[in-house]
């Protein structure tokens, strides 16, 4: 196969996004070498390029978790059944997804051990020993870990049997303090998603039907993928005293009264990688926000045998000045692939900027910068290249957020009646902002009829949900509405 043909067939192997979004997604994940299936059903291997992306996401969030006063720790993977079943609502919520260890070697265990589907039970049993006095509070701990949920239908990054995440688990002296923590972390997630992932989100509260098993309130950040389906990108739970009462996490307060702590938990997972792919990806593959991209700028030197030395010498010079400006640079000087093949490959991998440099460019003291997001090519003087590239990366990050926000806003609709509600979901999906009566069975009926769920009750700037809208009727049952909410089909 000629090199030009090879280059073309490289992108041809991605199913067009407009034709089959699900297949496009799988193709991008595999062709960009983020992750792949394994012999173990539902479990993926995260490949170096995908894991590097996750590490950048993790590090950016970890900084924020620590800056807000939390510390990291690590808790056991296995949870004795008696602990998991202590909080009834919690165990009921997770029961269908729990993987159990029944044997140690050849011996049947006296008590089954769950592989953590989440760590509230094991961590609460430990906190029970740690907390004795009001002086032991607050406890502000986060864990980076893997969890296992026995999923029936799986999808790379979005829903896998084993996945990576962080889970914060905090204990507080007062109810108010726990609520403040719940909202603080929700806002941390929002700022993180928008700043680092260029993923605009709607912060809000989940309905009773959609909340975390065992929580008083669950808050969420919801984002809209480019196929019009919503993704729950992170959650923050106010757990109240449900767990502290069951696990006896109590303390002697200043007034010498024995009291139960107020708790929160909050988490995001590797599904964020899926969110980044589906928010920004296009027909040519992945498009990565510069702040989390493993490679921010790839240099493709263009040379013939007789010009190779001169071009590579110049490339080394440029590389060192870009690195000194803190840019994550990769040079692809392999001579057994054509420049065209490389262009396609790094487009597929979503590298934000490509720098092309050849003998003619060197003569003119310039290079070509190609933006992945807009695919625009810019002739750029070599002097000051580090500043030009840095500024462009900042601009790309900003433009990607704006583009995603514009898409989200254009795909958020209001509707006149339930017939239009159904039609919008069939034709174009997206968010529908509509009045709802506040009744759980009505919500479930809407889900049954349309496959859409209430993604959240949006929050005001003061973190309160909005008061009942005056004079509006529930989009489904037509009684006076209690809230205006975002509906969508979701992942």
Binding site for Zn ion (CB under 5 A): 437, 442, 474, 476-477
Minimal distance, residue 441 CB to Zn ion, in Å: 9
DSSP state, residue 305:
T
Minimal distance, residue 373 CB to Zn ion, in Å: 41
- 480-483 contacts: CB < 8 A, separation 24 or more? 480/437, 481/435, 481/436, 481/437, 481/438, 482/436, 482/437, 482/438, 483/435, 483/436, 483/438, 483/457
Minimal distance, residue 11 CB to Zn ion, in Å: 47
Nearer to Zn ion by Cβ, of 313 and 444: the residue is 444
Residues 6+ positions from 275 with CB-CB distance below 8 Å: 197, 199, 223, 225, 231, 233
Torsion, Cα 30 34 37 42, to 10 degrees, reads -130
Over 406-458, what HEC string results? HHHHHCEECCCCHHHHHHHHHHCCCEEEEEECCCHHHHHHHHHHHCCEEEEEE
| Buried residues in 433-450 as b, exposed as e (16+ CB within 10 A) | bbbbbbeeebbeebbeeb
Nearer to Zn ion by Cβ, of 207 and 223: the residue is 207
Minimal distance, residue 410 CB to Zn ion, in Å: 27
Q: What is the largest CA-CA distance in the chain?
A: 85
Q: DSSP string spanning 47-102?
A: PHHHHHHHHHHHHHHHHHHHHTT-EE----SEEEHHHHTSSHHHHHHHGGG-EEEE
Nearer to Zn ion by Cβ, of 104 and 440: the residue is 440
Nearer to Zn ion by Cβ, of 407 and 433: the residue is 433
Minimal distance, residue 202 CB to Zn ion, in Å: 21
Q: What SS3 class is residue 135?
A: helix
Interatomic CA distance for residues 329 and 323, integer angstroms: 7
Q: DSSP string spanning 159-177?
A: B-SEEEEEEEEEEESSHHH
Minimal distance, residue 232 CB to Zn ion, in Å: 22
Q: Is the dihedral of CA 349, 355, 359, 361 positive or negative?
A: positive
Phi-psi label, residue 228: left if phi above 0, alpha if psi -120 to 50, beta otherwise = left
Among 257, 359, 265, residue whose Cα is nearest residue 313: 359
Nearer to Zn ion by Cβ, of 312 and 442: the residue is 442
Nearer to Zn ion by Cβ, of 164 and 477: the residue is 477
Nearer to Zn ion by Cβ, of 169 and 483: the residue is 483
**Residue 109 parent element (H or E):** strand 107-115
Minimal distance, residue 473 CB to Zn ion, in Å: 9
Nearer to Zn ion by Cβ, of 325 and 477: the residue is 477
**Residue 14 parent element (H or E):** none
Minimal distance, residue 436 CB to Zn ion, in Å: 6
Nearer to Zn ion by Cβ, of 341 and 436: the residue is 436
In the block, residue with structure tokens 């093949």: 341
In the block, residue with structure tokens 């509006």: 472
Nearer to Zn ion by Cβ, of 101 and 477: the residue is 477
Minimal distance, residue 235 CB to Zn ion, in Å: 24
Minimal distance, residue 447 CB to Zn ion, in Å: 12
Minimal distance, residue 437 CB to Zn ion, in Å: 3
Among 86, 179, 201, residue whose Cα is nearest residue 463: 179
Nearer to Zn ion by Cβ, of 312 and 473: the residue is 473
Nearer to Zn ion by Cβ, of 455 and 476: the residue is 476
User: In Å, what is the CA distance from 105 to each residue of 2, 40, 79, 101?
Assistant: 56, 21, 18, 11
Minimal distance, residue 482 CB to Zn ion, in Å: 9
């Amino acid at each position: 196969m000629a090199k030009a043909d090879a280059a073309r067939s490289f992108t041809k192997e991605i199913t067009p996004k407009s034709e089959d979004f699900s297949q496009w997604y799988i193709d991008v994940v595999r062709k960009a070498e983020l992750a792949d299936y394994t012999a173990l059903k539902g479990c993926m291997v995260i490949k170096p390029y995908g894991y590097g992306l996750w590490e950048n996401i993790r590090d950016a969030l970890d900084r924020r978790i620590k800056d807000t006063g939390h510390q990291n720790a690590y808790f056991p993977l296995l949870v004795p059944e008696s602990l998991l079943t202590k909080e009834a609502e919690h165990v009921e919520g997770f029961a269908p997804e729990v993987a159990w260890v029944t044997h140690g070697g050849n011996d049947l265990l006296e008590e089954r051990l769950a592989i953590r589907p989440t760590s509230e039970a094991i961590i609460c049993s430990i906190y029970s020993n740690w907390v004795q006095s009001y002086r032991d509070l607050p406890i502000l701990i986060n864990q980076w870990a893997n969890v296992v949920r026995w999923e029936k239908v799986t999808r790379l990054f979005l829903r896998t049997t084993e996945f990576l995440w962080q889970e914060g688990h905090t204990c507080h002296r007062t109810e108010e303090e726990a609520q403040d923590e719940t909202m603080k972390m929700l806002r941390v997630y929002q700022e993180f998603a928008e700043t680092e992932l260029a993923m605009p989100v709607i912060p809000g509260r989940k309905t009773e039907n959609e909340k975390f098993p065992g929580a008083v309130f669950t808050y969420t950040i919801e984002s809209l993928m480019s196929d019009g389906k919503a993704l729950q990108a992170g959650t923050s739970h106010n757990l109240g005293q449900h767990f502290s009462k069951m696990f006896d996490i109590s303390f002697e307060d200043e007034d010498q009264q024995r009291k139960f702590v107020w708790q929160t938990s909050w988490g995001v997972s590797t599904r964020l990688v899926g969110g980044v792919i589906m928010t920004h990806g296009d027909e040519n593959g992945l498009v990565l926000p510069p702040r989390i991209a493993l490679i921010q700028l790839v240099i493709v030197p263009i040379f013939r045998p007789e010009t190779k030395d001169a071009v590579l010498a110049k490339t080394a010079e440029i590389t060192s000045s870009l690195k000194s400006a803190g840019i994550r640079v990769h040079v692809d000087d392999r001579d057994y692939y054509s420049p065209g093949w490389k262009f396609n490959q790094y487009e597929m991998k979503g590298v934000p900027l490509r720098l092309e440099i050849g003998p003619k460019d060197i003569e003119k003291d310039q290079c070509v910068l190609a933006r992945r997001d807009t695919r625009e090519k810019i002739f750029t003087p070599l002097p000051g290249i580090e500043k030009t590239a840095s500024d462009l990366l900042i601009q790309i990050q900003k433009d990607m957020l704006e583009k995603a926000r514009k898409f989200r806003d254009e795909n958020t609709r209001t509707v006149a009646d339930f017939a239009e509600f159904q039609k919008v979901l069939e034709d174009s999906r997206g968010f529908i902002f509509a009045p709802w009566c506040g009744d759980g069975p009505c919500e479930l009926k809407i889900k049954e009829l349309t496959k859409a769920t209430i993604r959240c009750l949006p929050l005001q700037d003061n973190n309160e949900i909005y008061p009942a809208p005056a004079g509006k009727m529930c989009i489904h049952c037509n009684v006076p509405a209690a809230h205006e909410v975002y509906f969508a089909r979701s992942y």
